[in-house]
Structure 1
């Protein structure tokens, strides 16, 4: 090989290696062949209050005898159960997506989004959003005021996402599985209020 051709080939190979590396980083093609399954139970309430490094139990103030809502100084077992607020089924956008999305108010007043029987694709930087747009419209974008709930924990299974305190869930029409890197929706679910 002549010197002229070496001078041409070596830089060209270096450019190809850099381009291939960038492509692998952006597209992460191996994720087309992998799955991450998550199977979380629905939480019943947030963690117990912690004060001065100690977990507070049923009688945090050290009061003796019966207190309101207790029996013999022990905590009452009549706490409120989680309540479904809205739910919907996923529809496919850019990647096959199925399963159910539910918004739930917990016994302590906290709110979570629960994804059940989720099946979608893995991808680079996939996140879960609440959107003010309907599921079909979310295919074109999340819309104004969308709330990020975090990275998708797994592309299969049952998982929970904490809704930030103070979020008015009635303002959101859908849940969207969104690829942040390429600004595309994998799938979305319309949220319809649960009666009763």
Structure 2
């Protein structure tokens, strides 16, 4: 205890001590900011709620308004994967085709994920990946990856099979859309991965099937 008091007295009362103290404070500030950036997402959710996307030049049936078509497609996107009913004719007329889908699962005991991921082909031929009823454990710098691997369990599987980074995750809670690059064939996508870059950890995955 006496040595601690001597050290504190030296830091406060001597010129060299004050220089050392200032250097310690200067070094601690960026570390504290980094720690706050890493820890903060664990206590706060980022919520988004994007509408189902309509292609810019999509043809809407004359009997429907644009708002009605948007509501109809959003409702159709929430159908359970097991449902085998044909897509309603009005949806087909709007040019939306569901290509493949799957449910999010936990990355591990700490990193949780739920909701569905679905790839749609829109009327203009473009493709979009949509998350519905989505929730994942929040974290720093989460990104959306797609991979040909059917069930990646970690970064080793992702690295071996290859992947395409679509975008930074818009929110850890809620419905959201990600446009697929024009040169990316949906047939080559078998899984979606929520990946934390700073820690190189898989937070959640969804295996996609037709």
TM-score range, shorter chain: 0.7 to 0.9
* Aligned position for 2:56: 47
* 1:108-141 per-position Cα deviation (integer Å, ceiling 9, x unaligned): 2111101111111222221111112233434545
* Aligned position for 2:41: 31
User: Could you tell me which of 26, 36, 39 is aligned with 1:14?
Assistant: 26
Aligned residues: 163
User: Could you tell me which of 153, 170, 174 is aligned with 1:137?
Assistant: 153
Structure 1 residue 166 and structure 2 residue 183: aligned?
A: yes
Partner Cα distance (1:139, 1:149) in 2: 16
Structure 1 residues 84-95: aligned runs within 5 Å: 84-94=98-108, 95=111
* Aligned position for 1:81: 95
Give the CA deviation at 1:184. 1.4
Structure 1 residue 119 and structure 2 residue 128: aligned?
A: no
Higher helix share: 2
Whether the 8 Å contact between 2:47 and 2:171 is mirrored in structure 1 is: yes
* Aligned position for 1:180: 197
Partner Cα distance (1:88, 1:30) in 2: 30
Partner Cα distance (1:110, 1:185) in 2: 28
Task: Please give the root-mean-square deviation of Cα atoms over the aligned residues, in Å.
Answer: 2.3
Give the CA deviation at 1:167. 1.4
- Gapped runs of 5+ residues in structure 1? 50-76
Partner Cα distance (1:39, 1:84) in 2: 20
Partner Cα distance (1:168, 1:149) in 2: 13
Instruction: Point out the more displaced range, 139-148 or 94-103.
Output: 139-148
4+ aligned runs moved over 6 Å, structure 1: none
Higher strand share: 1
Structure 1 residue 107 and structure 2 residue 123: aligned?
A: yes
Whether the 8 Å contact between 1:89 and 1:100 is mirrored in structure 2 is: yes
Give the CA deviation at 1:104. 0.8
Whether the 8 Å contact between 2:155 and 2:200 is mirrored in structure 1 is: no
Q: TM-score, normalised by structure 1?
A: 0.73
